[in-house]
Structure 1
């Protein structure tokens, strides 16, 4: 019973808060805060001691190849920022390789788009009897085509299960995203091809808007004719 009595009478001792006259100094540091600060201080002190020992026992004749490829800036070794200078032919070759890589990606996207289109086209075809309708003129033919399309869509929505509808919508969404990606890659290929041509030899100038016959989003250049030797 004594243990139970002690448990009932036990108080929760709280640490002292910051006095009112010292409130301007912020929160009073608790013991757990002191422990963390002391551990951090001793860790830094030990790191500095290890560095002092390494510096004292360093071999003055040691050599590393990084001493050549780096500079000391503010007491810290930093690599030299000397970029490799490529020749004009090397830059053209790199641009060609980049175009080939993007072209391969665009062709892969195009094949996936065609495969999805074929799959969705075969999925959307509704089996059943085929009816032949006759129209007097083009206007009536348009109305018949619109009516039949609405009926087909209504039948497909009514007969297709929810799981198949969800999968079909996901396929259409993927088809749309891949088509947009293929279009972007095609634009990138056109831009990179233009940049590669501009790196080539020959005098050229950029045409003004009133000189362009076919509107284009990209700038249009005209090369000067040169006689081939």
Structure 2
């Protein structure tokens, strides 16, 4: 029976469209759109109901710190984030710790540069065959000179003929060496700048020199401390 019902062509049902006189109101809401809108409405209704119950059963004597750190702006709670105020001694201590950290990084980077330079220097040096020749007199020594020159030229030739893979690794190592040199120089510059900032934060009357009082090649600010009589 079901096969017969499926064999017969049934009428195709279409959802009605918006009447022409109501086109200004947009598309006509379908049933699936109504279901989504109803679910959203009930979800918001339940959330408001829970909030009302929570507000009704709230303890009037309850206190928490957000009462002080938040305020209502246009009906929306916004948290006030006040920056912590540090004392002058705490700022000097933090500056000292920062300088020590950057200095340790600069020293570590400099050691890596030195190790990399030593490795590349040994790689670029051609292998030298150390043969010891013994001569009885000056005449025999002159006869051996061509042998010494040929050994030296062979060693240089072998050193210049490096495999492509070794040359590629060597070029990459040279690039890394240059990057590490730049990084070490930047870290040393940061140490000098931070040390100057720490000195400026210290005690004593000081003033910043104008552009006419310093050398044109000097980029960093220069300070001059007033002379004080030691007691």
Aligned twin of 2:138: none
CA contact (8 A) 2:71 2:80 kept: no
Matched, 1:44 2:44: yes
Aligned twin of 2:218: 216
Q: Distance in 1 between matches of 2:172 and 2:29?
A: 58
Aligned twin of 2:145: none
Max radius of gyration: which structure? 2
Once the 2 structures are TM-superposed, how far is the Cα of residue 51 of structure 1 from its aligned partner? 0.7
Q: Distance in 1 between matches of 2:199 and 2:22?
A: 74
Q: Distance in 1 between matches of 2:217 and 2:21?
A: 77
CA contact (8 A) 1:70 1:77 kept: no
Structure 1 residues 144-194: Cα deviation after superposition (integer angstroms, max 9, x where no partner):
xxxx9xx94xx33xx233xx4444444333333322222222222222111
Scaled by the length of structure 2, the TM-score of the pair is 0.67
Q: Distance in 1 between matches of 2:123 and 2:43?
A: 68
Matched, 1:103 2:103: yes
Scaled by the length of structure 1, the TM-score of the pair is 0.67
Q: Distance in 1 between matches of 2:39 and 2:167?
A: 62
Matched, 1:192 2:223: no
- The two structures, once aligned, show a CA RMSD in angstroms of 3.8
Q: Distance in 1 between matches of 2:177 and 2:13?
A: 67
Q: Distance in 1 between matches of 2:121 and 2:172?
A: 15
Matched, 1:160 2:164: yes
Aligned twin of 1:177: 179
> SS state of the match for residue 73, structure 1?
strand
Summarize the alignment of residues 90-169 of structure 1 with structure 2, pairs less than 5 Å apart. Answer: 90-127=90-127, 130-131=152-153, 152=160, 155-156=161-162, 159-161=163-165, 164-169=166-171
